Amino acid sequence: MALPPPDPQFVLRGTSAAVHTLHFSCGGQEPDFPILFSGQSGFVHVWNLKTRRVETALDGHGRKSVYWVETMGAKDRLLSQGRDQRICLWDLAEGRTSVTDSVFTENVGFCRCSLLKVAQERWLMAMATKALEEVQVLELPSKTSVCTLKPEVGAKLGMPMCLKLWQLDTGSQPWLVAGYEDGSVILWNLSMGKVWSQLVCHQEPVMSLDFDSEKAKGISGSSEKVLSIWSLNEQQNLQVYKTHELINSGISDITIRSDKKILATAGWDHRIRIFGWKKMKPLAVLDYHTATVHCVAFSDHRNPSERLLAAGSKDHRISVWSIYAQT
Amino acid sequence: CSLPGGSDCSVSFVSQVVGKVCVHGGQKDILGVLVPQLTELTQSDCIWQRICWRLVESVPDRWMEAVLLGFVQSAPGADALSRLLGNLVVKNKKAQFVMTQKLLLLQYGYTTAVLQNVLGYLSLDNLRRALLIKVLQELLETWGSSSAVRHSPVEQQLYISKAILICLSHLKEPEIESCRQELLTNMMAGVKCHLDSSLPQIRRLGMIVAESVSVKINTDGPVLKFQYEEDNETQELKSLLVQAPQHCVVPSLADNRNERAEAALPGELEAAEKPQTATQVVPEEESDTELDSDDDLVPYDMSEDKEIKSTKAPVYIRDCIEVLTGSDDVHKWDATIKALEGLIRKNPAATREVSVELAKILLHVEEKSCIEGFAVLRQKAQVAVLTTDPIPVAQYLTSQFYSLNYSLRQRMDILDVLVLAAQEMSSPKFYGKNKPSNAQKPCIQLLPESNSSKDWRKIVDERIKSKTRRFAKGRSQAETDAGPNKFNSVAGHFFFPLIQNFDRPLSTFDLLGEDHFVLGRLVHTLAILMYLAASAMVVTTMGKALLEFVWALRFHTDAYVRQGLLSCISSILLSVPAAHLLEDVAEALVETQCWLADVVEKDPDGDCRRLALQNLLLMENLKKKLETAPS
């Protein structure tokens, strides 16, 4: 007899706008408090998860929507990407809230950037640029361009919709998996700056994807009813592994937990679905929100039993769940 | 029988022996030895064939029938029969009568193989083919006669249908040409009688034969096509239309090895195809055997996860009524129909206010859009209304059953709804279903009870279980909650209005005349209602009324109606307490017993006879019970 799905552990209110992106930063040493960053219209809110209140509100994008936040290393350095075509780097140490640097992407799309740490104090960030189909990879904090990934002429991929930089282990060559508007997923080889493999996964634009570099398997969701799971074979070519039918169409975000055991999808049908990553076994359907869920994020707590899942939705709420934290 | 080869001996003595043995019942023994040997010998040797023909022709007429029947049953195939008998059927009048009339029309007990033998035999020689056509025409006439359809048993009709199909399979084009018109007329007349029948099996037989005849006579152009449920019987019948290549079953003959090898080849090809599909399936399964550490992630209950519907279903009964009567919005209408039964059950008080109106709407509502299972949804909603407010709705429905201007389908729907509602109200398990078990997630979860209170019971139970020796385990089903039988108080309202007006014909509805199918359904409905009212107060009055009703209709020509009447008697005997029966209706019971005995002997329908026998047994048991009871 299966248990009914759990209720959220707590729900954060007070954003007064649809929540577009979430990022946890809980791995710090005590006496730091765990933090959740949420991006919505105009502000990035820094939530204190112990008091469950907003600590600070960062206003750096001129009241335009923020649709990506990620920390660079420690939680006092934050990147945020907004609809004002800028990516801002914030310095949040010791109570400051100032933008120390920014990158002007000139991109009017919605493609979230991807950040990868390649060495101590060196990051790679992939972002969509002004040209419609291009992805540019920058090295941070120097902001030098590593390469520009241009699909060949006539490929008709459309805009890049989602990006994921990965490398097999620190020091090996980085790769980029990108999902495009025409439904295909492309594996880019960054050292050569060329397409390594391409796979058409969906009929509709790829809304979100995530990749597990250990198992060389990734998952992508789009606006249709199918989740597509693909893998890399020995020659690093993409091939379809399996597909999973959903009950309602539309996925806005997918994320795999850091222990690679479960993954969460944020759906347009207001529900968060949890699957087992190994075999895509459906595990739970979390039904709390009353509007489409825009983003899901897993926390990076060091202590496994404290791990959380957060989901931000158009109904201005962020629900935080504790699910499958014992394993 | 091993005759010395070549010498000139008279076979008439052998014929007489064979004939006498067969007449005395030794067909199987003697022919079991003779026929295989003769089949083998006549395979290639003309002389043996002639000997065999002389043998059968010399059998005296009075024993011809027995011998022929024996041959026909033990011959391994039509061509073997042809070799053994030659043109006996043309030369001998008695043989002709047996083969063309007696075997086919006057009895119906032989197997399909025998039919194949006989008709195949007739088709194998030009002299005999004329007989084949004559046989087909006679068969079709019998098949198509309306009195035969109504009064002859189902098994006989099946036998004749099979014979017709086999004949059709043997006919060649020019022969069909010559009798095309007659076949057509006979078939059209026959199919009408078959479709009129109340028994579904007869209707199906009619459809299959008509389709087959139509295919044969209209090789180009549109053919007749019916819709019916396929099952083993229909498959078997259709397979008779196609003549399979004859291969002898006699073993160890050189020719047959070739035939069997050919038959084996297609089988091998099939087997070769199968491994290919098997290998495709195997790789998928192998990946499943990897060690699965996902197993320790226990899934949660995902039953609430349903498709999002864009239109919301109405939440109030009166809204539903508005949508069903007025609205043009198809999505809303769909959502209403799907949600209606649930709403009715959850809001009994609100439903009772508008019950008759709702029943009226549901009776008349027609399918506006193609949703799946519309008929089922409507019926469930009707049953829900009826069980929520039985008396007024039952009054309405039973009065409408006898009103003008309803289609037969609607009248039968009324009967179905009454029966389903009665079943639901008289059955205990539905009582517990109305509790909303885990319909909504509780927003506040109750803390789990502290362990001590529940556990002691468990521990004590365990201890008792381990200490008791059990001799036999009783049924381990959980006991269903007991609840009051809601049907008892309303049984009369369901039953009496239905039984009152059956002999009053209306302009559009004549139960005793054309609409005997509805009468059959009505009778079956009354039987079920009687059975379910076993513990009602009015059961004796119901029983008396039903007994009179059955008595009035007991000689009805339709077998389906008669079956219903016999079920009514069973219900009366089972439901009405025995003491009341003997008090009030003793004379009627005796008369009924005489009638039942008559049915057991003379009724052409097998099911009727069986039901009548069961009723007689029930009456016997009743009498015995009363005799042994201390009174």
Name which of B284, B292, B300 to mutate to probe chain A: the one with the most chain A Cβ atoms within 10 A of its Cβ: B300
Task: Choose among B213, B133, B212: nearest CA to B175.
Answer: B133
Q: Which DSSP category does B108 fall into?
A: -
Q: Which DSSP category does B198 fall into?
A: S
Cβ separation B297–A5 shorter than 8 A: no
Q: What average pLDDT score do residues B160-170 get?
A: 85
- Better-scored residue on pLDDT, B25 or A281: A281
Is the pLDDT score of B453 beyond 80? no
- Which residue carries 């359809």 as its tokens? B149
Cβ separation A285–B304 shorter than 8 A: yes
Over the stretch B326-346, which tens digit does the pLDDT of each residue have? 777 777 888 888 888 888 888
* Peptide bond before residue A31 is cis, with ω within 30 degrees of 0: yes
pLDDT, residue B58, reads 78
Least confident of A127-136, B67-76, B240-249: B240-249
Using a pLDDT cut of 90, give the percent of chain B over it.
Answer: 0
Is the pLDDT score of B452 beyond 60? no
What angle in degrees, to the nearest 10, is found between the helix axes of B374-388 and B408-426?
Answer: 50
Whole-number mean pLDDT of chain A?
87
pLDDT, residue B254, reads 37
Q: What average pLDDT score do residues B107-131 get?
A: 80
Is the pLDDT score of B432 beyond 50? no
Does ipTM top 0.85?
Answer: no
- Better-scored residue on pLDDT, B521 or B456: B521
Q: Which CATH class is domain B484-630?
A: mainly alpha
Question: In this structure, are residues A100 and A116 in contact, taking their beta carbons and an 8 Å threshold?
Answer: no
Give the span between the Cα atoms of B106 and B620, in whole angstroms.
Answer: 36
Question: What Å distances lie between residue A278 and A254, A264, A275, B580, B619, CA to CA?
Answer: 15, 13, 9, 71, 68
Task: Choose among A127, A126, A122, A128: nearest CA to A141.
Answer: A122
Question: What Å distances lie between residue B443 and B162, B302, B446, CA to CA?
Answer: 67, 17, 9
Query: Which residues of chain B have a CB within 8 Å of the CB of A262?
Result: 297
Ramachandran category for residue B364: left, alpha or beta (phi over 0 → left; psi -120 to 50 → alpha): alpha
What angle in degrees, to the nearest 10, is found between the helix axes of B112-123 and B154-170?
Answer: 30
Is the pLDDT score of B36 beyond 70? yes
Pick the CATH number of A19-104 from 1.20.120, 2.40.10, 3.40.1350, 2.40.128: 2.40.10
Q: State the nearest Cα–Cα gap between B410 and chain A, in angstroms.
A: 37
Q: State the nearest Cα–Cα gap between B292 and chain A, in angstroms.
A: 8
Question: In this structure, are residues B115 and B162 in contact, taking their beta carbons and an 8 Å threshold?
Answer: yes
Bridge partners, A69 (sequence order): A80
pLDDT, residue A28, reads 64
Residue B350 CB neighbour total at 10 angstroms:
15
Laid out side by side, the sheet with A35-40 consists of: A19-25, A35-40, A43-48, A53-59
Is the pLDDT score of B277 beyond 60? no
Tokens, residue A66: 């923020």
Is the pLDDT score of B257 beyond 50? no
Query: Which residues of chain A have a CB within 8 Å of the CB of B294?
Result: 261, 276-279, 281
Over the stretch A195-235, which tens digit does the pLDDT of each residue have? 888 999 889 999 999 999 888 899 999 998 899 999 988 88
Q: State the nearest Cα–Cα gap between B294 and chain A, in angstroms.
A: 6
Question: In this structure, are residues A235 and A226 in contact, taking their beta carbons and an 8 Å threshold?
Answer: no
Ordered by start, the domain boundaries in chain A are 19-104
pLDDT category of residue A255 using cuts at 50, 70 and 90 = very high
Is the pLDDT score of B121 beyond 60? yes
Is the pLDDT score of A5 beyond 80? yes
Question: What Å distances lie between residue A246 and A249, A251, B63, B284, B313, CA to CA?
Answer: 7, 10, 77, 22, 23
Give the span between the Cα atoms of A258 and B487, in whole angstroms.
Answer: 61
pLDDT category of residue B497 using cuts at 50, 70 and 90 = confident
Is the pLDDT score of B557 beyond 90? no
Question: In this structure, are residues A241 and A232 in contact, taking their beta carbons and an 8 Å threshold?
Answer: no
Under an 8 Å CB criterion, which residues of A touch B?
Answer: 2-7, 247-248, 261-262, 269-271, 276-279, 281-285, 287, 324, 327
Query: Which residues of chain B have a CB within 8 Å of the CB of A276?
Result: 294, 297
Is the pLDDT score of A299 beyond 50? yes
Is the pLDDT score of B307 beyond 90? no
- Better-scored residue on pLDDT, B79 or B472: B79
Residue B528 CB neighbour total at 10 angstroms:
19
pLDDT category of residue A96 using cuts at 50, 70 and 90 = confident
- Better-scored residue on pLDDT, B346 or A3: B346
Q: What average pLDDT score do residues B193-221 get?
A: 83
Q: What average pLDDT score do residues B543-558 get?
A: 86
pLDDT, residue B477, reads 54
